Chains A and B, each alone.
Chain A
Amino acid sequence: MDHPWSLPGEWLKGALHVHTTESDGKRTPSEAVEAYAEHGYDLVAFTDHGKVTDAAGVDGGGLLLMSGAEIGAGQTEFGTRYHIVGVGLTGPLPEDLDTSCAQATVDRLKALGAVVMIAHPYWTHTTPGDLLGLSGYDGIEVFNAGCEWETRHGDASQHWDWLIAGGRPVLGFAVDDSHWGFADFAGGWVMVRAADRSAEAILAALRSGSFYSSAGPRIEELVVEEDGLRLRCTPVAAVHLISPAPGRGWTSHQRCKRPTCEAELTELELPLPPAGQTFRLECVDAGGRKAWTNPMTLGDPDVQ
């Protein structure tokens, strides 16, 4: 099974959902880049509302900058628009982009070469029907720090599992959605395993799921062995093996037989999930901050 830790390349820390003064953000593109540089990012994508902020005109100061946009389109069950983020756009948005229809918007952004994600599903209160009713997007924002801090609706892990349980193991991106009205940045990011630091390599890695998402923990190693998964990470309180199936899954808490055995984990052996069953991992630190792997499936159920 290919996963980011088994691939060659380097880890790049990226902010994939960032607003600037080009739409309703309070910092200019250059000021936004400065803030991310201070926090050790390698990559920033500008995703202003309804327009492509041209990254080529901004001094990245060593960071790789990409262009994108956030587009409101269609209508959800609860009467709001889907917010759809496209990262990796190279020109202005087409004038005939049909935002009356969310599917048309997804399809057009994909045709333009963008990595496409459904933004903040919990904040928008998208239902399983809303999420399963659209197709062709690369993933959802599994965590949106701005939404978490603005309304407590930033963590869309359950929405993700509704999709996975529905047979749609899409990717999960953690983002900031920074607007800079308060310190709404450096709260959610992706760690991309890219062949090199080019925009092409990064977009290819994002499309293929060669990344994990985090609001805190760093997952340093994941090895699939014959008798289990071996994981190494920065100190966490728990590691969850999340399965979409009713009652299935595992967490490191199961090894705790007494109330006083709260441990700080940095290395862990997890049981091997059954072949053919989609699962994902969550690492949760002592403050409740998570890191999320993308959905994985071991083996080929037809061969078992």
Chain B
Amino acid sequence: MSSEPSASSAFLPLCADSNPFAEQGNWYKGNLHVHTTVSDGEHSPQATVDLYAQAGYDFLAISDHERLTDPEELDGRGMALLPAVEFGGGRASLGQVYHLLAVGMRGPAQPLDAGSSQEAVDQARAQAELVFIAHPYWCSLTPDDLTAVEGYDGIEVYNATCERGIGRGHSEPHWDCALNRGWLLTGIAVDDAHFHYWDALGGWIHVKAPHLDRRVLLDAIKRGWFYASSGPEIKNIAFDGDLVRVQCSPAASVALVVPSPGRGWTTDRLRDGGERPLMTEAELPLAAAREGIFRIEVADERGRRAWSNPYRLQ
């Protein structure tokens, strides 16, 4: 476990003094990855905005391929709209391109013209506040492909269309391996909806911010003050001596996930062979992390999850 600052981005692990659950503000729900008729999506940009607004989302980033769909030309229906683009560029180990989700675009998209994968990341980062490597499992990226480049903010730990399209939406092993190598990455859940089949409202993030504003949201996401979900809600993560206390929507299990061999703890250790009631509170021993990086994961009875960003407590 590297204790050096991340080679990857400005994100520093969360801790007791930088814990979004302990901060003042509100939780805002949003999706950072969706396509429209501007690229290969089924619905127009405004129809897409309308769908998410009706579903109760607070913010949305339309992220068409290689082209900026300008939020200024849309009615947000009360949501904050973040300018975003999904770029393809670089070459990973199987010869495939990286998909880079650039959120907080500063202007129109300049397609990546990169000689190397690192240049692709650099070019995306030069155009946007935030860069995430999209759907690692769908792309058949290995952890080596994630740690072959640096200067990005995180990965899509869950991508709903990839799960519902080809069964490869989860990228926890990629995340953990990168964390283990010292790449301090955040994890977002997204839809990446195209609407060719039902692939919307399946992955999102909840951001803690003082108010709903594009600039404020981007800053909070940059700091990792959010958690990702495909279903469960995390209501609180609080530190109390040797314990971390988690409050959540009804969960089948809550885990303190440690990205290093043999470590970690889950409430499934309390199994006694009988039916277990769902829980809305759990206490997890911090000793399982042994002062290293850890993250909190909540699973509901359908196997849907919520993922905190990485923490480190001294």
- Using a CB–CB distance below 8 Å, which chain A residues touch chain B? 76, 78-80, 122-125, 127-129, 148-153, 156, 158-159, 161-162, 165, 182-184, 237-238, 240-251, 253-259, 261, 282, 284, 286-289
- In the bound complex, do residue B266 and residue A246 qualify as a contact, i.e. CB atoms below 8 Å apart? no
List 19 A-B pairs, Cβ < 8 Å.
A122-B176, A149-B269, A150-B266, A151-B255, A152-B264, A153-B264, A240-B168, A241-B166, A246-B96, A246-B140, A247-B166, A249-B165, A249-B168, A253-B165, A253-B197, A254-B164, A257-B197, A259-B198, A286-B302
Residue on A nearest B96 in the bound complex, by CB: A246
Interfacial chain A residues near B264, Cβ < 8 Å: 150-153
The verdict on B273 contacting chain A, using a C-beta distance below 8 Å, is yes
- In the bound complex, do residue A183 and residue B96 qualify as a contact, i.e. CB atoms below 8 Å apart? no
Residue on B nearest A249 in the bound complex, by CB: B166
- In the bound complex, do residue A288 and residue B271 qualify as a contact, i.e. CB atoms below 8 Å apart? no
Report B100 CB to chain A, min CB distance, Å: 15
Report B255 CB to chain A, min CB distance, Å: 4
Partner of A124, one of B138, B253, B262, B301: B262
Report B70 CB to chain A, min CB distance, Å: 28
Report B35 CB to chain A, min CB distance, Å: 14
- In the bound complex, do residue B271 and residue A182 qualify as a contact, i.e. CB atoms below 8 Å apart? yes
- In the bound complex, do residue B201 and residue A259 qualify as a contact, i.e. CB atoms below 8 Å apart? yes
Report B135 CB to chain A, min CB distance, Å: 9
The verdict on B144 contacting chain A, using a C-beta distance below 8 Å, is yes
- In the bound complex, do residue B168 and residue A242 qualify as a contact, i.e. CB atoms below 8 Å apart? yes
Partner of B138, one of A152, A184, A246: A246
Complex formed: what's the CA distance from A6 to B265 in Å? 41
Complex formed: what's the CA distance from A47 to B8 in Å? 41
- In the bound complex, do residue B173 and residue A122 qualify as a contact, i.e. CB atoms below 8 Å apart? yes
Interfacial chain A residues near B297, Cβ < 8 Å: 152
Report B43 CB to chain A, min CB distance, Å: 13
Q: How many A-B Cβ pairs are below 8 Å?
A: 148
Complex formed: what's the CA distance from A158 to B257 in Å? 17
Complex formed: what's the CA distance from A253 to B166 in Å? 9
- In the bound complex, do residue A151 and residue B167 qualify as a contact, i.e. CB atoms below 8 Å apart? no
- In the bound complex, do residue A149 and residue B164 qualify as a contact, i.e. CB atoms below 8 Å apart? no
Interfacial chain A residues near B168, Cβ < 8 Å: 161, 240, 242, 249
Partner of A238, one of B167, B171, B270: B167
Partner of A127, one of B144, B198, B255: B144
Residues in B224-260 with C-beta less than 8 Å from chain A: 252-253, 255, 257-260
Report A284 CB to chain B, min CB distance, Å: 8
Given A152-B266, A161-B140, A165-B140 in contact, is the A125-B260 Cβ separation under 8 Å?
yes
Partner of A257, one of B139, B170, B198: B198
Interfacial chain A residues near B139, Cβ < 8 Å: 246-247
Given A125-B177, A256-B198 in contact, is the A183-B273 Cβ separation under 8 Å?
yes
Interfacial chain B residues near A165, Cβ < 8 Å: 94, 140, 142
